[in-house]
Amino acid sequence: MLTSSLMSLDALLCLIALVGLVLLGFGVKGRRVGDEPRCRKCGYNLTGATAQVCSECGKTIDAQGVVFGVRRRRKLAILLGVLCVLPISGRWSVKGYQYAQTVNRYQFYPFSWVLADSGGGEAEALDEVDRRLRSGRLNATQSAQLAIAALKKQGATTADGQTQQWVDMLEFLYQAGDLSGDQTTTYFAQMRTYALKVRDQVCEGEGIPFRISYAGRGPSFAIRGDVGDGRWTDVSVESGRVLLRRIDGVDVRGPTYAVEAYIVSSDMGPTVGRTGSCESVLRSPTAPPGRYELTLDLEEKVNPQGVLGPVREGPRVSTRNVKVTQQIEVLSFDEC
């Protein structure tokens, strides 16, 4: 019922606009006023002219080249015509604007423009980049440009609501074989970042409390199976130690103090926003006063992901050694 009413309204407005166009044409054409001879081409007043051509524009003056009077437009007809055309023009303008809001303008843009806008945070541009990637519309040069931009987003200091989409596109490029060797290494290195926190100063004979944490920057589950069956989502810490080593140059013979540390790791993947941590205390009652370096030394492995879980007995996708250091000072009893 509403649709029929709108169609009837559009038909009425079109009819009124048609009348308005006729009025506009009638008003613009106008009527001639006066009886003086004038050049048909330029309107120059030819009264008293004896030459065979118009002295203003050079047109031949003959029976066809002369008109009488000057044309004056009908202002009232023009005004009425404009008023008749305005309603349908306004309605079409609103409809055009509403339609433009629903159209993905980025589908018509060159890839470099779309990539630049997506890097600036435009969600529609990022979706268009993702769509072109998954539909196979990117050439080798464009894939390389996307890889550079996505690695930069993955390695940014802080993550936002779009980081996961950038990382998932990186995973698509990785599984498609479109990442170079160095880019692949960077991709895995940025998939999980580790931090070691410890006090700046501790007293001689006391334990050294520390905290190890990680933040994920890996792909989501939705990426699995997009390209072939090279699926994986499990990142694990196979072994990890925290070592204490003196660095102030004093020759103090003795063992390196160490403690085993196991980070609480996800079994399902290092997706963006996934975190884990562990806290412990390094007991070093024999560490004399001085400057020391506390080092987190761990081996991280990325495992293939099967239907029922991580395939940890199979070949690793990636293995890397991670070291994170912090300096501390052991104070003497008197200084404490």
Q: What is the mean pLDDT of residues 69-91?
A: 87
Cβ-Cβ contacts under 8 Å for 167 (sequence gap 6 or more): 150, 153, 154, 217, 218, 219, 220, 272
Q: What is the mean pLDDT of residues 88-111?
A: 81
Q: What is the mean pLDDT of residues 307-328?
A: 70
* Residue 227 reports pLDDT greater than 60: no
pLDDT tier at 318, thresholds 50, 70, 90: confident
pLDDT digits (tens, 9 = 90+) for 10-25: 888 888 888 888 888 8
* Residue 2 reports pLDDT greater than 70: no
Range with the lowest mean pLDDT among 67-81, 207-221, 297-311? 297-311
pTM exceeds 0.75: no
What average pLDDT is seen over the chain?
81
pLDDT tier at 113, thresholds 50, 70, 90: very high
Q: What is the mean pLDDT of residues 266-288?
A: 73
* Residue 132 reports pLDDT greater than 90: yes
How much of the chain, in percent, has pLDDT values that exceed 90?
Answer: 23
Q: What is the mean pLDDT of residues 231-237?
A: 64
pLDDT tier at 8, thresholds 50, 70, 90: confident
Q: What is the mean pLDDT of residues 188-210?
A: 88
pLDDT digits (tens, 9 = 90+) for 71-81: 888 888 889 88
Who wins on pLDDT, 288 or 251?
Answer: 288
pLDDT tier at 222, thresholds 50, 70, 90: very low
